[in-house]
């Protein structure tokens, strides 16, 4: 169907899975109270919870990238989640006193992924309906 045209989208989805794997490892082993990074302070439970979430999220992205045409709806879900995260992150960086600006880079990377998803979705021939409304099947 859209196989060759959807390869850039699948590769971007796979790359964002790598990015989420890195985030998962960071939260599992380096972020949290008493760990290497603890600003802002994060209770170990929440850092483990977020780390496991990121690892599961990355796994979903890796498997979906292998058949992006079938799982295009996952890209839409990811767009919603990443946009919410980026908006929330920039709000905290800009308006919450004392929030560390070290998270600025992750906001830039996640925002870039959202833009690439949208560009490659259009180039692949998918519509926005494909992203946000699941297909009943073929």
Distance CA 48, CA 74 (A): 24
- For residue 40, the 8-state DSSP code is S
User: 62-99 pLDDT, tens per residue?
Assistant: 999 999 988 888 889 989 999 999 999 999 989 988 88
Greater confidence (44 vs 71) lies with 71
Q: Which helix (H) or strand (E) holds 136?
A: none
Buried b (16+ CB within 10 A) or exposed e, 4-42: eebebbbebbbebbebbbebbebbbeebbeeeeeeeeeb
Residue extents of the structural domains in the chain: 7-132
User: 129-138 pLDDT, tens per residue?
Assistant: 888 887 766 5
Q: Which pTM was predicted?
A: 0.84
Distance CA 46, CA 12 (A): 28
């Amino acid at each position: 169907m859209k196989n060759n045209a959807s390869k850039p989208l699948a590769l971007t989805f796979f790359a964002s899975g790598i990015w989420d794997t890195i985030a998962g490892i960071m939260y599992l082993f380096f972020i949290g109270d008493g760990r290497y990074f603890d600003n802002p302070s994060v209770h170990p439970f929440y850092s483990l919870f977020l780390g496991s979430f990121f690892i599961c999220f990355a796994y979903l992205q890796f498997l979906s990238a292998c058949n992006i045409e079938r799982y295009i709806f996952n890209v839409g879900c990811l767009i919603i989640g990443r946009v919410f995260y980026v908006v929330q992150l920039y709000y905290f960086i800009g308006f919450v006193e004392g929030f560390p600006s070290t998270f600025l880079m992750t906001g830039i990377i996640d925002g870039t992924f959202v833009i690439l998803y949208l560009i490659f979705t259009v180039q692949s021939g998918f519509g926005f309906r494909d992203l946000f409304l699941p297909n009943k099947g073929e």
